[in-house]
Amino acid sequence: MSQKIARVEETKTSSKAKRRVGTNSTKVKGPADSKVSPEASQEQTEPDVIRLTRIKQWYIVADTESYLILKKLGAPMIRIHQTFLPTLQLLTKDKPIRIVGVNFNDAILEPFIDKATGTWTKKYGKCTVTSKVMVFQAAGDKVKAAKEALPKLETVLQNFFNRWGYRFQLSYSEGKESSRIKLHVEYWFDAEKMPLIPLETPVEEIPKVQWDLGFTRLTFSFDDTVKLAKQRKIGYVHLLIEISQGGKFVPYYSSKCLYNQISSVKPMILALMNVLNHDIHNLDNKSE
């Protein structure tokens, strides 16, 4: 059954939202309802939903599920320029997929700001918010607790701004004898900054190679998923030595090292290839 794909329309932004960000928001109308027979309605399933939120001329996927749907369609994009919408409509044509608009100001930005400032105001002090600036202040006997809360607050702000493609700048100041503190946060949307979306990385088994040497077994495992710093990964080679006892291999010793700590593999490769000269059936032996 053919399906009319979403039509994007401008909607009015609340005065409160305009004061803070002044971004355009959208409402995306889903497919038109169609009359179907009772038999057909029983076979229908709930359509997948792509949720998009608009910031200026960009549409950003509102959740992880929407990104995964786009990925299945062959368009793994976190943000979509408004000129690409007709192409997206073609991709979803005649598919059980709906496109739904999410108002960025009302559904995303305002709740975030209200929660962040509300928590601070309740526990530590005063907050001031404009369309480009947030200021968190504390004074008197609340300064100590506020200082301890600042790292968590900065992390929350950083995660939010990175998620939606915002640039931001933090400025901290402290009064005489720590009588008061102030965190000044300037933020703005940057079309050149790619938004980030959290994805749950599926657990993958680390590739391994097992090599039996009579009653001893060597297991090498290779990985490249150990995070040492932001946006940096490095891999290890793991070695497990097992000894056969009672017909079963039991762990005896294990270690690991970096790839650049391994000596040249050439002598070992040549030595292993020479095994075939002594046992021409070696390649037929079982391997793990």
Is 251 contained in some domain? yes
Q: Which of 28, 50, 8, 56 is nearest to 164 (CA)?
A: 56
Residues 176, 213, single domain; the answer is no
Asked whether residue 195 is domain-assigned, the answer is no
Looking at the structure, tell me whether residues 162 and 214 fall in a common domain.
Answer: no
DSSP state of 126: E
Q: So what's the pLDDT on residue 233?
A: 57
Is 114 part of any domain? yes
One domain for residues 155 and 216: no
- Whole-number pLDDT of residue 179: 86
Q: For residue 286, is it within any domain? A: no
C-alpha to C-alpha distance for 110 and 252, rounded to whole angstroms: 58
Residue type, 163: R
Cα 217 from Cα 135, distance rounded (Å): 62
Same domain, 38 and 91: yes
Domain match, 86 and 122 both: no
8 Å CB contact between 64 and 50? no
Rounded to a whole number of angstroms, the distance between the first and last alpha carbons of the chain is 50
Domain count within the chain? 3
Read off the tokens for 46: 């709930």
Clarify whether residues 31 and 90 are in a common domain. Answer: yes
| Non-local CB neighbours of 92 within 8 Å, separated by 6+ positions | 3, 5, 6, 50, 73, 99
Tell me if 244 is assigned to some domain.
yes
> Which of 129, 154, 189 lies at the terminal end of a domain, its last residue?
189
Q: CB neighbours of 193 closer than 8 A, spacing ≥ 6? A: 165, 166, 167
Which mean pLDDT values do the consecutive 10-residue runs of the chain (288 residues) have?
A: 37 42 43 40 69 95 92 86 86 88 95 94 94 94 92 94 95 86 95 85 63 90 57 72 86 85 86 83 74
Q: Give the pair of three-digit tokens for residue 32.
A: 């038109």
Rounded Cα gap, residues 25 and 53, in angstroms = 7
Supply 265's token pair. 């593999």
Last residue of a domain, one of 134, 161, 189: 189
Count CA within 13 A, CB hemisphere, residue 220.
10
pLDDT (0 to 100) of residue 284: 78
Residue type (1 letter), 48: D
* Prediction pTM value: 0.57
Q: Which two tokens stand for residue 48?
A: 């997948």
CA-based nearest residue to 61, from 69, 52, 48, 70: 52
Same domain, 98 and 22: yes
User: The domain spanning residue 135 has which CATH number?
Assistant: 3.30.1380.20
Q: What single letter denotes the amino acid at residue 157?
A: L
Q: Which amino acid belongs to residue 150?
A: L
94 and 111 housed in the same domain: no
CB 125 within 8 A of CB 138: yes
Number of residues assigned to the chain: 288
In a domain, 98, yes or no: yes
CA dist 137 and 93 (Å) reads 52
Last residue of a domain, one of 189, 221, 252: 189
64 and 120 in a common domain = no
Find the domain containing 223 and state its range: 208-280
285 found inside a domain: no
Evaluate whether residue 287 is within a structural domain: no
Tell which residue, 268, 215, 213, 216, has the closest CA to residue 237: 268
Whether residues 236 and 269 fall in one domain: yes
Q: Is the dihedral of CA 244, 248, 253, 255 positive or negative?
A: positive
User: Residues 127, 130, 133, 134: what is their CA dihedral angle, to the nearest 10 degrees?
Assistant: 20
Residues 11 and 81 reside in one and the same domain: yes
